[in-house]
């Protein structure tokens, strides 16, 4: 395939370069806006992921706690029988 720039005169080539530079210079503000938009969108997605992850971890913790409580209710826990075991009582204030 033939390169279209090969058939241009030096003046035409310089004009083409200037047109390209002008195009890119005019496009920069739009690209900066797009970059800011994409960065904000990424921040939002990261925050959503973190929130969902925390919710999942909380649900797992609650499920484990509930399972431990249910297992504890089926078989009462007893303190080990040793000579150093003592009962502590709490006094109620009135």
CA distance 40 to 51: 17
pLDDT tens string 45-67: 999 999 999 999 999 999 999 99
In a domain, 52, yes or no: yes
Parent domain of 32: 7-73
In a domain, 88, yes or no: no
In a domain, 11, yes or no: yes
In a domain, 59, yes or no: yes
Residue 94 CA: distances (Å) to CA of 35, 64, 90, 91: 66, 37, 13, 10
CA distance 12 to 19: 10
CA distance 9 to 13: 6
CA distance 81 to 17: 91
pLDDT range class, residue 72, cuts 50, 70, 90: confident
In a domain, 2, yes or no: no
pLDDT tens string 11-50: 999 999 999 999 999 999 999 999 999 999 999 999 999 9
- State the pTM of this model: 0.50
**Overall domain count for the chain:** 1
In a domain, 69, yes or no: yes
In a domain, 37, yes or no: yes
CA distance 20 to 26: 10
């Amino acid at each position: 395939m033939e390169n279209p720039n090969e058939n241009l005169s030096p003046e035409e080539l310089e004009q083409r370069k200037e047109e390209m530079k002008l195009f890119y210079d005019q496009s920069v503000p739009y690209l900066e806006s797009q970059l800011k938009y994409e960065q904000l969108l990424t921040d939002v997605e990261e925050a959503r992921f973190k929130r969902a992850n925390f919710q999942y971890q909380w649900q797992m913790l609650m499920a484990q706690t509930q399972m431990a409580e249910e297992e504890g209710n089926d078989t009462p826990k007893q303190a080990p029988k040793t000579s150093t075991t003592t009962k502590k009582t709490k006094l109620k204030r009135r």
